[in-house]
Amino acid sequence: MPSPISRHDVAHVARLARLALTDEELELFTVQLGAVLAHAADVAALDTAGVAPTAHPLPMVNVLRGDEPGPSLDRDEVLAQAPAAEDGRFRVPRILGEAP
Amino acid sequence: MTATTAIGLAAEVREGRRKAAEVVEQYVAAIEAREPELHAFNLVLADEARAAAAAVDAAVGRGLDPGPLAGVPIALKDNLCTRGIPTTCSSQILAGWRPPYDATVVARLRDAGAVVVGKTNLDEFAMGSSTENSAFGPTRNPHDHTRVPGGSSGGSAAAVAAGFAPLALGSDTGGSIRQPAALCGVVGMKPTYGLVSRYGLVAFASSLDQIGPFASTVADAAALLEVIGGHDPADSTSIDRPPPRLLPTLGDGVGGLRVGVVRELTDGIDADVLDRLHQAADALGAAGAQVGEASVPAAVYGLSAYYLIAPAEASSNLSRYDGVRYGLRVPGEDVTAMYEATRAKGFGPEVKRRIMLGTYALSAGYYDAYYGQAQRVRTLIIRDFEAAYRDFDVLLAPTAPTTAFRLGAKTDDPLAMYLSDVCTIPSNLAGDPAISVPFGSGADGLPVGVQVLAPALGEEVLFRVAAVLEGAAP
């Protein structure tokens, strides 16, 4: 049986997931994800016409709290856990091209 | 003779017959003696436990009631946030992180007088069935050090089995409380989805995750669930009901209850485990229950559906670990390079595998065939359980297909490892409660667990049945 997922697919998914994979990981995951997806073929092949999907086991929607101010997490305490912070904000590498 | 159960210890401490400080020293000594060989904990909090016990004793001294778990040591799975105390999820990506808040269950335990003795080891981000996926090394089964404790809450199960604490908390997404409880010979319970607040539980698969108790007795597990359960405005999926009351009816027996052994969950189970299941069914019959065979046909698709739904939700939940706000950051020349390098270094192989699987199941062209289809199968499983509960009050099944397996036996074959959860997954998909009760041992002398399943919010009847099984266990 051909694998349901190719090495090319795995590399594409790794980019979507923002995971830098080694060649060895690409190889291994192609085999292992193929095995899990082959096992899932029973589900994929099932006739579920007319069956509504369940995203969540509780019949609850749009739970809202009262619009009343309350305490939040302390900003300094939160930023103290950040890999890099500056001027009360998270500092990240450049996300845009060079400024003109 | 001093108590060894949580309920007994709390009574002694509340009545001033025993100091919480003395209780803590006893358990800290037990931890120091055997923890090096078991590795149940990522972090032992001996000094913090001593301070908490002193506060309990001071309250008793002032004539105050410290609460229903006064002075009772408890171990917390290390995916429950503890303010200012490292919470790692057994992952390098969270190494060194100190949460700025407590999980709701942690706050409720403190209010009930419980004393946290440590944070327990788990499969990284609760993804696994053996605790071998921890970035900090495996936990060993207290009954046999060459065997796994199960997982993902293997550290919590081992801690209770080894006498490191009478109580522990775990989380159960596909069996991560019940399966290790069975393999370690302790009681482990997954509550109805929404009964226990998930606020401060590090998310794995949000529509399946539920926090629940480990204990050495059914009554202790019930006492712990009474403390942690009940509505929490901080969790929008929390059911708006008061905390459950379980202890008053715990001894009411099973007379007249209809008990169904789930046919589909007895396929592919080791013969010695099945023997114990049938023995448990007979014991319930002897205690006055009507025992029959139940059928939940769609349960056979549970494993496949779960290993699409849970990774899909995980791939979304774990996108937050990007090196920006907390945890590990590996520098990169731009933000995408930083993301990719951080996640490559911070996540272990199983977490990467599940993120990949989930991302694939959600990606364009495959979403409906895999994730959408799994969600429809989830509906079928819920319908089949509803039908079974028209004929039966509770259902009976094995907890795990085998007793504890050897370290390394399944680490190279993810699908074989996933099969460990085949009997526990259906309850998570349905959102229903289930409990594993120790019931004798297998041919190898290792513990076997029997699982009781009930409809949503059926905790009261679930615990009654569990108490009868506990009393009848060989």
CATH number at residue B123: 3.90.1300.10
H or E stretch including B1? none
The tokens for B284 are 């319930």
CA distance A20 to B376: 33
> Is this prediction's ipTM beyond 0.90?
yes
* Segment B393-444, tens digit of pLDDT: 999 999 999 999 999 999 999 889 999 999 999 999 999 999 999 999 999 9
Instruction: Name chain A contacts of B197, Cβ cutoff 8 Å.
Output: none
The 10s digit of each residue's pLDDT in A27-69 is 999 999 999 999 999 898 899 999 999 998 888 778 888 899 9
Same domain, B262 and B342: no
Shared-domain flag, residues B290 and B423: yes
- Where in B216-268 does DSSP place strands (E)? 258-262
Rounded to the nearest angstrom, the minimum Cα separation between B469 and chain A is 28
- Contact (Cβ atoms closer than 8 angstroms) between residue B50 and residue B91: no
**Closest approach of chain A CAs to the CA of B176, in angstroms?**
18
Query: What mean pLDDT is reported for chain A?
Result: 89
B352 and B405 inside one domain: no
Closest-CA residue of chain B to A77 = B100
Distance in angstroms (rounded) separating the CA atoms of residues B217 and B97: 34
Predicted confidence at residue A2, as pLDDT, reads 56
| B37 shares a domain with B106 | yes
State yes or no: cis peptide before A6, omega within 30 of 0: no
- Is B419 in the A-facing interface, judged by CB distances under 8 Å? no
* Radius of gyration of chain B from its Cα atoms, rounded to whole angstroms: 21
Kindly tell me the burial class for residue B98, based on how many C-beta atoms sit within 10 Å of its own C-beta (0-12, 13-18, 19 or more).
Answer: middle
Predicted confidence (pLDDT) at residue A99 exceeds the cutoff of 70: no
- Give me the DSSP letters along B65-77: ---TTTT-EEEEE
Residues of B in contact with A6 (CB under 8 A): none
What backbone torsions phi and psi does residue B188 show, to the nearest 5 degrees?
A: -140, 135
Q: Environment class of residue A62 by beta-carbon count within 10 Å: exposed (0-12), middle (13-18) or buried (19+)?
A: exposed
User: Which of A5, A54, A60 is closest, CB to CB, to B378?
Assistant: A54
User: Which of B100, B307, B355 is the closest to A74 by Cβ?
Assistant: B100
Rg of chain A's alpha carbons, rounded to an integer? 23
Which residues on B lie below 8 Å from A34 (Cβ)?
Answer: none
Within-domain flag for B104: yes
Name all domains of chain A by residue range, CATH numbers in brackets. Answer: 7-44 (1.10.20)
User: Is B322 in the A-facing interface, judged by CB distances under 8 Å?
Assistant: yes
Asked whether residue B428 is domain-assigned, the answer is yes
> Is B420 among the catalytic positions?
no
Domain count, chain B: 3
In a shared domain, residues B170 and B265: no
Query: Facing residues of B168 across strands?
Result: B75, B214
Enter the tokens of residue B376: 């429809």
Alpha carbon A49 to chain centroid, angstroms: 28
| B416–chain A Cβ distance below 8 A for any pair | no
Report yes or no: B433 and B454 within 8 Å, Cβ to Cβ.
yes
Measure in Å the smallest separation between the Cα of A87 and chain B Cα atoms: 14
Q: With contact defined as beta carbons under 8 Å apart, do A19 and B356 qualify?
A: yes
> Does the active-site annotation cover B152?
yes
Q: Which residues of A touch B304 (CB under 8 A)?
A: 39-40, 42-43
Q: Are residues B229 and B286 in the same domain?
A: no
Cβ atoms of B438 and B448 within 8 Å: the answer is: yes
Chain A residue closest to B339 (CA)?
A: A18
Q: Active-site residue B176, yes or no?
A: yes
Give the nearest chain A residue to B83 (CA atoms). Answer: A77
**Within-domain flag for B409:** yes
Q: Tell whether the model's pLDDT for residue A1 goes beyond 90.
A: no
A-chain CB neighbours of B326 within 8 Å are 81-83
Mode of pairing for the β-strands spanning B187-190 and B258-262: unpaired
Give the distance from residue A50's alpha carbon to the nearest chain B alpha carbon, in angstroms: 9
Q: Please check whether residues B214 and B199 belong to one and the same domain.
A: yes
Distance CA B78, CA A21 (A): 27
Residue A77 burial (CB count, 10 A): 14
- CB-based contact B207 A57, cutoff 8 Å: yes
Interatomic CA distance for residues B27 and B34, integer angstroms: 11
Contact, B250 vs B464, CB < 8 A?
Answer: yes
Query: What whole-number distance in Å separates Cα of residue A14 and Cα of residue B205?
Result: 20
Same domain, B211 and B181: yes
The residue ranges of chain B whose pLDDT is under 50 are: none
Q: A33 vs B304: CB contact, 8 Å cut-off?
A: no
Within this chain, do residues B122 and B238 fall inside the same structural domain, yes or no? yes
For residue B453, list chain A residues with Cβ-Cβ distance below 8 A. none
Taking an 8 Å cut-off on Cβ atoms, the answer to whether A58 and B431 are in contact is yes
Residues B215 and B347 in one domain: no
Question: Cα–Cα distance between B172 and B149 in angstroms, integer?
Answer: 15
- B124 near B90, Cβ under 8 Å? yes
Pick the last residue of a domain from B211, B229, B249. Answer: B249
Final residue belonging to a domain, choices B368, B391, B410: B368
Across the interface, of B193, B377, B414, the residue whose CB is closest to A36 is: B414
Catalytic residue among B19, B77, B119, B410: B77
Q: Please check whether residue B338 lies inside any domain of the structure.
A: yes
Per-residue b or e along B381-402, where b marks 16 or more CB atoms closer than 10 Å to that residue's CB:
bbbbbeebbeebbbbbbbbbbb
pLDDT of residue A58: 85
Distance between CA atoms of residues B259 and B281, nearest Å: 8
Listed residue (B267, B204, B301, B262) closest to A51, CA to CA: B301
**3-state SS assignment for residue B352:** helix
Catalytic, out of B91, B134, B152, B153: B152
Assigned domain for B374 exists: no
Say if B326 is an interface residue toward chain A (CB within 8 Å): yes
pLDDT, tens digit, for every residue of B76-103?
Answer: 999 999 999 999 999 999 988 999 999 9
| Residues B165, B75 share a domain | yes
Identify the pLDDT of residue B2: 75
Catalytic residue among B129, B134, B156, B176: B176
Looking at the fold, whether B19 and B108 belong to one and the same domain comes out as yes
Split at pLDDT 50, 70, 90, the class of A98 is low
Q: Which domain holds residue B101?
A: 6-249
Interface mutation vs chain B, best among A5, A26, A33, A36, most B CBs within 10 Å: A36
Closest in B101, B236, B375 to A55, CB measured: B375
